[in-house]
Amino acid sequence: MRIFISYSSKYREICERIQLALEADGRHEVFVDRSELQPGKPFDERLREGIDQCDLLLFLISPESVAPGSYALAEMSIAKARWRHPGGHVLPVKVAPTPKEAIPAYLRAVTILEPQGDVVAETVAAIDTARQPVRAWRALALLAGIALAVGLGLAGYSQWQKQRLAQAEAATLAATAQQLCESKDHALAWQRYDEAISRYPDQLSLRQAREDCGMRWLREIRVREGKETFTDIVNRVLPVLAEGATNAKGQRAADLYAHMGWANFLRNREGAGGHDPQASYQKALGEEASNVYAHAMWGHNILFKGGTLESAKQHFASALASSRERPYVRDLQFAALLNSMESSTEIEAARVAGEMRKAGEQIDERLRDRIWTYVYYAGLMPGSRRTSFMAGMRDPDAPVTFAWLYPENQVREDRRNLWRFFMASLEQAAGEKDAALARYEALRADLQRDRLSRLLEPTIAAIKQLRS
pLDDT in tens, the chain (468 residues): 899 999 998 998 899 888 888 887 678 888 875 544 444 445 556 677 778 889 999 999 999 999 988 888 988 988 898 898 888 899 999 999 999 999 999 999 888 998 887 888 888 888 877 655 444 444 444 554 545 454 545 445 456 566 666 667 777 777 888 888 998 899 999 998 998 899 888 888 889 999 999 999 999 998 877 778 999 999 999 999 999 999 999 999 999 999 999 999 999 988 877 778 999 999 999 999 999 999 999 999 999 999 999 999 999 999 999 889 999 999 999 999 998 878 899 999 999 999 999 999 999 999 999 999 999 999 999 888 899 999 999 999 999 999 999 999 999 999 999 999 999 999 999 999 999 999 999 999 999 887 667 899 999 999 999 998
- Answer yes or no: CATH 3.40.50.10140 is held by domain 2-134: yes
For residues 291 and 328, the answer to whether their CB atoms sit within 8 Å is no
* pLDDT value at residue 39: 42
Question: CB-based contacts of 426: which residues, under 8 Å, 6+ apart?
Answer: 380, 393, 398, 399, 402
For 386, counting Cβ atoms within 10 Å of its Cβ (0-12 exposed, 13-18 middle, 19+ buried), the class is middle
Find the angle CA(287)-CA(310)-CA(324) to the nearest 5 degrees. 40
Phi, psi of 111 (to 5 degrees): -70, 125
The residue extents of the domains of the chain are 2-134, 375-468
pLDDT of 459: 95
Rg (CA), the chain: 29
Residue 36 pLDDT: 46
Measure CA of the first residue to CA of the last residue in the chain; give whole Å: 80
Contact 112, 126 (CB under 8 A): no
Q: Which residues of 114-145 are buried (b: 16+ CB within 10 A; e: fewer)?
A: eeeebbbbbbbbebbeeeeeeeeeeeeeeeee
Residue-level pLDDT at 144: 45
pLDDT value for 378: 93
Report whether 1 contacts 27 (CB < 8 A).
yes
pLDDT at 161: 60
Report d(CA 50, CA 78) in Å as an integer: 10
Q: What is the pLDDT of residue 209?
A: 93
pLDDT for the residue 136 = 45
